[in-house]
Every structure is written in C-alpha cells, then in structure tokens.
C-alpha cells in the first residue's frame, strides 16, 4: 500500500478500491491519522483545486468525495479515540428560510475531506439552532450558506444571535452562496467569504492558522 | 410599432423602435407573490382577485394585464402544462406536503416560500433500469386544462402583446428531481445508461404533451418557454462532454418537435454560467437565451453578444443578485442602460430581470427598470 495509491483512487472515485486499501493499511498497523493526513486530505485538496480551476465538475467531485468517505468511515471511529487529531471542528448549515442544500453539501464534504470534523445542521436552520449547536459542539468554524437574496439577511441575524449569546469570540464565521459577496461578508461581520466549496476549506485553514 | 411587432423584430435580429421589456410574460420573468402585492400598492392598482400564482413551487405571481399595461411591458404569459399544478394555495404559515404526478413528495416547511423534494420513487443507491420501467409515469397525452388553452391564447392574442407559451419541460431538471441531485450527478458518469433511461421516459411525456399543446395553440403564440439549468454561479454544472452525450440529443429532439408545431421562437432558460454551452444551444435550435445571469462567472454581456454572433437573442440581464434588491432606482437605470448598450445592437435583446423578482426588491426599482427601457431603449 502506498499513500499515492490511495490518493489516486480517491481522485478517480473508486470507492471499493479505497476501502480495500484502507483496510489493508489498518491491518498492517498504519496509524489512521497518517491515512487521513497523507492519503485523504491531500487527495481531496487536489480534487478541490481542480474543481476550482474548472477542470472537473460537480459529478467528479461528488464521486471522489464518496470514495474519500469509504476510507474516512473506517478510520473515523479510530480517530475519535485520539486527542486533537482533526484540524478543527466546523458547523455548517443553510440559514433560515432557505432550503437549498447543494452548495452546503459540497462544502460539508470538502471540509471533511480537508481534515475537519463536520457537524451538518441541514437546511432552514434558525439562528437559535446555530447558537445551541455552538454551545453543544464548541466548534472552531461556523459556515453559513444562502442561495436567495431574500435569505441573506438571515445570515446577519444568525451572526447577531451568536454575538448576543456571547459566543462570537471563540469562533470564526464564514459565509457563501451564489448572491453572497466579500463586501456583504464584511458588512455583516463575518470572518471570511468563500466563493466556492473549495475556497471554504482554504479560507478556514487560513483563518485558523492566523488565530 | 406595437408590443408584439417590437418583440418579434427584436428576436428576429432586427432593430425595433425600442428595446422590448418583459415583466410577467413567463414563469421565470415574473415576481414573487409578496413583492407583487407591494408593487400593486405602490402603483395604486387594485385588482379584486387574490394574487394568482403562475408557479406554485416558488410562489411566482401571474402579473395582471392592468399592471403590465400601467408599466408598459411587451409580453403576456400563457400558462399551459403548469409543472407545479400540484401546489395548493395554502397560507405560508402552514407546512405543506404533497405528492405530484411523477410520484414525488414535496414539502414546504412553515414560513418558507419554496418547496423541497423529500421522496421520489427513484431515490436511493440501488435503483435499476428495471425500476425506471416499473415506475408509474404520467400520461403523455394528458395535459392539464388543455381544453381551455386555445380560448385563453385567443384572449391574450387580442392584446397587442407578444404571447409566451410557458411549457417549462425540463429534461435534465425533471430527471434529477426524480433521481435526487447527488445520485444523479454521480450516475451521469458512473451509470449513464440509468440516466438515459430516466431521461427517455421524461422526454416521452414531454414530447406527447408538447405535440398536444402546440396543436391547440401553436399558431397563436410568439415565444415558447422551455428550461434546463446547465450553469452554476462559478461555471458549468456538468462537463460539456457529458451534456453533449446525454442531454443534448434529447433537447434537440424536444426542440424539433416544438419547431414542427409552431413558428414561435424558443426561449431557453438556464440559470448560472452557460457561456461554455453557447454553441451547443445554437445547435439544438434555441433562439433566445434567458435569464443571462450577469453575476455568474464569465457571463459578460459584451462577450456574450459577440459569441452569439446574431444567432441567439438575449432575454433578461438586469442583475438580481445586487442591483435590483440592494441598490436604488438610479443604479437600476444605469444597469438597464449598460445592458442595452452591450446587447441591444441590431436587435436581439429583450430587457428583463435575471429570474423572478424576489420579495425584498423595492417596487421603485421595478418601475425604474421598465422606465429606463422607455428612456434609453430607443433605436
């Protein structure tokens, strides 16, 4: 088994092969953390870059992510027993009034493939639910998604609710979705804006490295 | 020159007296129910009826002729084969859950203004071509309210506006609704035969309905509206190769049937960045591109006009991500002027908002959009 082979098979989206390689690696006593760091994260990194560059499309990215999960599902229970093995914890959700989940799901996949522990709150998530989840999960990153101009104000509402609950200081908030812009992100007091799913991961990395 | 002549000239690539403008002519160039109420109040127009809904799934209003005439717009909407006929007019405060003719279950949570699909006969990882065959498909011969379609078309025809037959008929979108987005997107590459089987059944329904509808109204309409989203904010939703293999031949067939049933132009709606598909859309017989989502990557209106080279008209282009909802009437007028400059030369452009106008858009901005066309749209 080589990590290069795992990376290749993830990029190709060959889930059964990735599962087989992971099982073999674990049987040989390879630390699960290493499989994540040397295999899955760099593989999904490359996939995200290619998506961003327009070399691959949603289908290719979803198939690669599924292959990544074939391995991650095996190593996750093993990782959970170790301390601070992930880059950080992220909560993702589509804000109140908005049922669009395609972009949010891509972000969740790539964040997980980027080495984050992800808690997906789903769609139509009211500010209070974000606040409760932050209290319970103690995340490093909170990612808000909206597709409609009508629901963009719910992003601001959510940030205000997080502030009012006294939880703003401990987390970085990122926003994204078709009508969202850098300017809007700054205006509502978000920490970063991501124009696509791949950028959400690189921005999260950047913000956490800076803090 | 009346409205119909104006639209026909523009979409035949001739310069009319001024650039035409559409508001409420189609299910994708109209306005959300809540915004429509605000607009009517602003204009001081009272129509007695409760707002009629053209598209239930996202609460799109059917704009009254009084409002269209007060504003001075050039097209009227003929709804046939409403794809969301299953929606009921319940209060927004109630949760709604409905099964449609394809066997899909739609749900709208309380307080939310659009629906999501929560179940379909073709959801799940282990669906086979046999399951597609075994599913109960809608009757291609059955078109809702077809009986009255000719009378309604004749009535619209009595106005001097261009009449748009709203057929919708989305092969790719209907297929991914049925299969579920994630599974569908993966199947496009991993199990294309399954997707073809689904698309073929969907197409069969659409072809039957299109023939029946155009037999009734084909001679009375100026534009036929069809749709299928190929773009996202950042680029193509699928690889152009996959589009060319799976979807393009089927679109070609549908559009052939449309062209054999009417002389009307085909208006094709796709959200997002579709600049990669311009040649394909010309190939399959699209005449008019909508909504020209100018905020999406690569959707530069000057560039698009060049690429189209007189083969495609544009219908839309007034930014709805920033200008219409968040700027003022002056910026809206500047936006209209800019798009007319970019797209209007030699005809081939009809002004409209990019997609249906959302409820938060100030009525002043909608009025400014139409006014600007009257001010700056002259040839």
3-state DSSP assignment of residue B168: strand
- Inter-chain residue contact B322 with A181, CB threshold 8 Å: yes
Instruction: Judge whether A54 is closer than 8 Å to chain B, CB to CB.
Output: yes
- Inter-chain residue contact A179 with B322, CB threshold 8 Å: yes
Instruction: Say which of A56, A59, A123 has its CB closest to residue B188.
Output: A59
Could you tell me the two tokens for B335? 């936006």
Instruction: Judge whether A2 is closer than 8 Å to chain B, CB to CB.
Output: no
| Helices B171-179, B248-261: inter-axial angle, 10-degree rounding | 130
Q: Could you report the predicted ipTM of this complex, rounded to two decimals?
A: 0.92
CB-CB contact of B2 with B17 (8 Å): no
A10 has pLDDT over 70: yes
Q: What is the pLDDT of residue A130?
A: 98
Rounded to whole angstroms, what are the CA distances from A103 to A31, A91, A200, B100, B109?
A: 32, 14, 11, 26, 20
Please give the Cα distance from B170 to B28 (Å, whole number): 13
pLDDT per position as a tens digit, A113-154? 999 999 999 999 999 999 999 999 999 999 999 999 999 999
Domains of chain A, with CATH numbers?
1-84 (1.10.1240.10), 86-211 (3.40.50.280)
Mean pLDDT, chain A, as a whole number? 94
Instruction: Say which of B111, B115, B242 has its CB closest to residue A59.
Output: B242
Q: What is the pTM of this model?
A: 0.94
- Inter-chain residue contact A178 with B233, CB threshold 8 Å: yes
Chain A environment of B358 (Cβ under 8 Å) = 148-150
Instruction: Say which of B114, B233, B237 has its CB closest to residue A99.
Output: B114
Q: What is the pLDDT of residue A85?
A: 63
Q: What is the pLDDT of residue B37?
A: 94
pLDDT per position as a tens digit, B204-225? 999 999 999 999 999 999 999 9
3-state DSSP assignment of residue B213: helix
- Inter-chain residue contact B238 with A57, CB threshold 8 Å: yes
Buried b (16+ CB within 10 A) or exposed e, B263-295: ebbbbbbbbbbbbbbbebbbebbbbbbbbbbbb
Chain A environment of B117 (Cβ under 8 Å) = none
pLDDT per position as a tens digit, B179-202? 999 999 999 999 999 999 999 999
Q: What is the pLDDT of residue B90?
A: 62
Instruction: Give the strand order in the sheet containing B105-108.
Output: B96-99, B105-108, B116-119
Average pLDDT for B96-107: 92
Domains of chain B, with CATH numbers?
3-376 (3.20.20.210)
Rounded to whole angstroms, what are the CA distances from A28 to A35, A95, B323?
A: 12, 44, 59
CB-CB contact of B183 with B125 (8 Å): yes
Which residue would you say has higher pLDDT here, B153 or A85? B153
Instruction: Judge whether B244 is closer than 8 Å to chain A, CB to CB.
Output: no
pLDDT per position as a tens digit, B10-64? 999 999 999 999 999 999 999 999 999 999 999 999 887 788 888 888 889 999 9
Q: What is the pLDDT of residue A210?
A: 81
pLDDT per position as a tens digit, B335-365? 999 999 999 999 999 999 999 999 999 999 9
């Amino acid at each position: 088994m080589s990590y290069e082979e795992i990376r290749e098979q993830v990029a190709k989206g060959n889930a059964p092969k990735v599962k087989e390689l992971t099982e073999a690696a674990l049987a040989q006593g390879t630390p699960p953390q290493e499989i994540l760091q040397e295999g899955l994260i760099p593989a999904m990194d490359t996939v995200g870059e290619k998506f961003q560059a327009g070399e691959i499309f949603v289908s290719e990215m979803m198939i690669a992510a599924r292959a990544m999960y074939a391995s991650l599902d095996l190593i996750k229970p093993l990782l959970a027993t170790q301390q601070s093995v992930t880059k950080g914890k992220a909560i993702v959700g589509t804000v109140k009034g908005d049922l669009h989940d395609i972009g949010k799901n891509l972000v969740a996949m790539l964040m997980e493939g980027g080495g984050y522990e992800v808690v997906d709150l789903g769609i139509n998530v009211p500010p209070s639910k974000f606040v409760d989840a932050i209290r319970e999960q103690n995340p490093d990153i909170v990612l808000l998604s909206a597709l409609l101009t009508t629901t963009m104000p719910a992003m601001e509402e959510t940030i205000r609710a997080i502030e009012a609950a006294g939880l703003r200081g401990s987390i970085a908030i990122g926003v994204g979705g078709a009508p969202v812009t850098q300017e809007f992100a700054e205006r509502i007091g978000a920490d970063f804006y991501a124009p696509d799913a791949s950028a959400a991961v690189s921005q999260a990395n950047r913000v956490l490295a800076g803090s | 020159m009346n409205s119909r002549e104006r639209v026909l000239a523009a979409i035949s690539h001739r310069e009319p007296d001024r650039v035409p403008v559409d508001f409420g002519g189609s299910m994708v160039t109209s306005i959300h129910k809540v915004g429509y109420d605000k607009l009517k109040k602003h204009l001081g127009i009272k129509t007695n009826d409760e707002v009629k809904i053209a598209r239930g799934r996202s609460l799109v209003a059917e704009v009254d002729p009084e409002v269209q005439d007060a504003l001075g717009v050039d097209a009227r909407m003929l709804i046939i084969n409403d794809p969301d006929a299953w929606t009921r007019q319940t209060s927004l405060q109630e949760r709604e859950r409905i099964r449609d003719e394809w066997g899909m279950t739609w749900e709208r949570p309380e307080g939310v203004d659009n629906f999501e699909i929560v179940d379909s006969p073709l959801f799940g990882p282990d669906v086979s071509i046999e399951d597609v065959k075994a599913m109960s498909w809608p009757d291609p011969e059955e078109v809702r309210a077809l009986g009255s379609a000719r009378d309604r078309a004749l009535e619209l025809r009595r106005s001097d506006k261009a009449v748009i037959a709203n057929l919708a008929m989305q092969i790719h979108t209907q297929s991914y609704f049925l299969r579920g987005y994630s599974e569908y997107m993966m199947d496009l590459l991993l199990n294309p035969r399954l997707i073809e089987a689904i698309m073929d059944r969907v197409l069969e329904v659409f072809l039957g309905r299109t023939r029946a509808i155009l037999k009734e109204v084909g001679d009375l309409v100026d534009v036929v509206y069809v749709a299928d989203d190929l773009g996202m904010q950042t680029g193509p939703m699928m690889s152009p190769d996959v589009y060319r293999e799976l979807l393009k031949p089927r679109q070609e067939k549908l559009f052939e049937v449309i062209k054999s049933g009417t002389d009307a132009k085909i208006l094709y709606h796709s959200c997002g960045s579709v600049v990669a598909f311009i040649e394909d859309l010309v190939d399959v017989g699209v005449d008019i591109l909508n909504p020209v989502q100018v905020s999406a990557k690569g959707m530069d209106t000057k560039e698009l006009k060049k690429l189209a080279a007189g083969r495609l008209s544009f219908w839309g282009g007034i930014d709805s991500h920033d200008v219409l909802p968040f700027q003022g009437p002056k910026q809206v007028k500047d936006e209209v002027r800019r798009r007319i400059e970019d797209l209007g030369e030699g005809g081939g452009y009809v002004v409209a908002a990019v997609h249906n106008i959302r409820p938060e858009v100030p009525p002043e901005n909608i009025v400014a959009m139409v006014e600007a066309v009257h001010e700056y749209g002259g040839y």
